[in-house]
Structure 1
Amino acid sequence: MTKEEILKKIKGQLIVSCQALENEPLYYDKMSLMPFMAKAAMQAGAKGIRANSVRDIEQIKKVVDLPVIGIIKKDYEGGEQYITVSMKEIDELVSIGTDIIALDCTLRPRYDGLTINEHVKKIKEKYPDIVLMADISTFEEAKNAELMGIDFIGTTLSGYTPYSKKVEGPDFELIEKLVKELNTPIIAEGRVHTPEHAKKMLEIGAYCVVVGGAITRPLEIATRFIKGMGL
């Protein structure tokens, strides 16, 4: 799928994040359950999927004909990043035809001593036609991502780095600033818990919205209900 085709498909739409880590109830070691989540999201009208790991992405792409934002979560000693950190993960995601590859584009020191700019330069040299999404936590990181020529900027990490603003719900203020001051399509992601949140993101100019925990993580959803009920 070309970048132009992806842009057309996801503009103003919902992307559903279908992920289950090994310590979560929906992770099953014998088979991936995420294709079922992705199929349900597609039937509901979602126009894209965000997924983690080669296993899940390969299986998801067999059952849905939607653009997939792919990541591989892995910790590396010596760095705080864990979303598609090294070239090894990029290679794996490219090899299975991932439509958009998202990676941590924060300005934190990396495990390999490279700056994020140096790392992205190497990626683009190796894969000139790659479509990249920068997962960022602040305006400065987003601006740097645009200067690097990243195709999409996502607010995925806002509130999840030690220095980024902590808010209860989505970071509407950051989205609004990014939309006004940058030219790169902005993907709203992070603590979008309600349809009203998602709708507001589009109203303030987000290119599209990613929702995960509020749709595909029953443990998180049930916990939110229990807490809200004061139980």
Structure 2
Amino acid sequence: MSVDFQSAIAPLYQGLIVSCQAPVDSPLHEPNVIAAIAQASVNRGAVGLRIDTPAHIQAVRQRCQVPIIGLWKQQIPGYQVYITPQFHHAQAIAQAGADIIAIDATTRERPEGETITNLIEWIHNELGKPVMADVDTIENAIASINAGADIVGTTLYGYTEETSKFSPPGFELLKEIVKLNIPAICEGGIASPQMARQALDLGAYAVVVGTAITGIDLQVQAYQKAIAK
């Protein structure tokens, strides 16, 4: 399948991508609520959205026309990989309306013996979608590019065993990825407009902000914890 992946990626350039997600036990974890948050983000200038689960992607797609980076978090017993771990998860979010498929692109063991290379090939050839590789290290960034990834994000920096001693944002990792001449997206730990600007100044193709904008549950919890002290 010959597809112009650049047409899906180009609108994100130098822009803000808002991750609209909520914990499964939150009242915000409703497709219509997520779609409203996404629409509010687009109304104020977001150039893209990062959305989890087919139901949420479908609801957002009905209200928003900007590119959607889709993912499906799945906890599979025995495996640490959880961001769109298998091809059938990618199929579901593509059918729901995602323009770009985000996958865990670390070297951690994958279910059913799938490889990153196979997964990216299937997403490209069977679904006709570009792939965002969520990585934690520069080694995994390089490996994902060699496997065919179209975008690389710092998403998992600080969230894997190998990087657990670090805290996002992964600005140093970002600078290394930028040198690889691939669209590099800074995601994770961006807590202020100034930090978002810093990411772009370091060469990020675009910046993803989630909790600081849409994470009501975590934000209130943090304020309450500070007040309680």
TM-score by length of 2: 0.92
Provide closer, same or farther for how the CA distance between residues 168 and 4 of structure 1 changes in structure 2, counting only shifts above 3 A: closer
Please list every run of at least 4 consecutive aligned residues from structure 1 whose deviation after the TM superposition is greater than 4 angstroms: 227-230
The alignment partner of 1:109 has SS state of: coil
The alignment partner of 1:40 has SS state of: helix
Give the counterpart letter for 2:197 in structure 1. K
The alignment partner of 1:126 has SS state of: helix
Give the counterpart letter for 2:212 in structure 1. A
Give the counterpart letter for 1:225 in structure 2. Y
Contact 2:185 2:207 in 1 (8 A): yes
Contact 2:120 2:131 in 1 (8 A): no
Residue 136 of structure 1: aligned partner? 135
Give the counterpart letter for 2:131 in structure 1. L
Residue 203 of structure 1: aligned partner? 201
**RMSD of aligned Cα (Å):** 1.9
Deviation string 1:151-208 (CA, Å, 9 cap, x unpaired) is: 110111110001015334411111011112x121001000111111110000000000
Offset of residue 2 of structure 1: 5.0
Tell me how many residue pairs correspond in the alignment.
Answer: 227
Give the counterpart letter for 1:147 in structure 2. N
Provide closer, same or farther for how the CA distance between residues 14 and 65 of structure 1 changes in structure 2, counting only shifts above 3 A: same
In structure 1, distance between residues paired with 2:4 and 2:219: 35
TM-score by length of 1: 0.91
Residue 8 of structure 1: aligned partner? 10
The alignment partner of 1:89 has SS state of: helix
In structure 2, distance between residues paired with 1:114 and 1:91: 15
Provide closer, same or farther for how the CA distance between residues 144 and 91 of structure 1 changes in structure 2, counting only shifts above 3 A: same
Q: Write the mapping of 1:109-124 to structure 2, written as runs, cut at 5 A.
A: 109-124=109-124
Contact 1:100 1:131 in 2 (8 A): yes
Offset of residue 230 of structure 1: 6.7
Match of 1:184 among 179, 182, 185: 182
Residue 149 of structure 1: aligned partner? 148
Contact 1:84 1:102 in 2 (8 A): yes
The answer to whether structure 1 residue 43 and structure 2 residue 31 are counterparts is no
Offset of residue 229 of structure 1: 5.3
Tell me, which stretches of 5 or more residues in structure 1 are unaligned? none
Contact 2:116 2:144 in 1 (8 A): no
Question: How many percent identity over aligned positions?
Answer: 35
In structure 2, distance between residues paired with 1:140 and 1:229: 41
Deviation string 1:37-94 (CA, Å, 9 cap, x unpaired) is: 0011011111000001111111111111110000111111231111111111111122
In structure 1, distance between residues paired with 2:28 and 2:9: 31
Tell me, which stretches of 5 or more residues in structure 2 are unaligned? none
The alignment partner of 2:18 has SS state of: strand
Provide closer, same or farther for how the CA distance between residues 169 and 102 of structure 1 changes in structure 2, counting only shifts above 3 A: closer
Deviation string 1:19-48 (CA, Å, 9 cap, x unpaired) is: 1231234124xx531011001101111100
In structure 1, distance between residues paired with 2:124 and 2:7: 20
In structure 1, distance between residues paired with 2:165 and 2:15: 26
Offset of residue 6 of structure 1: 2.8
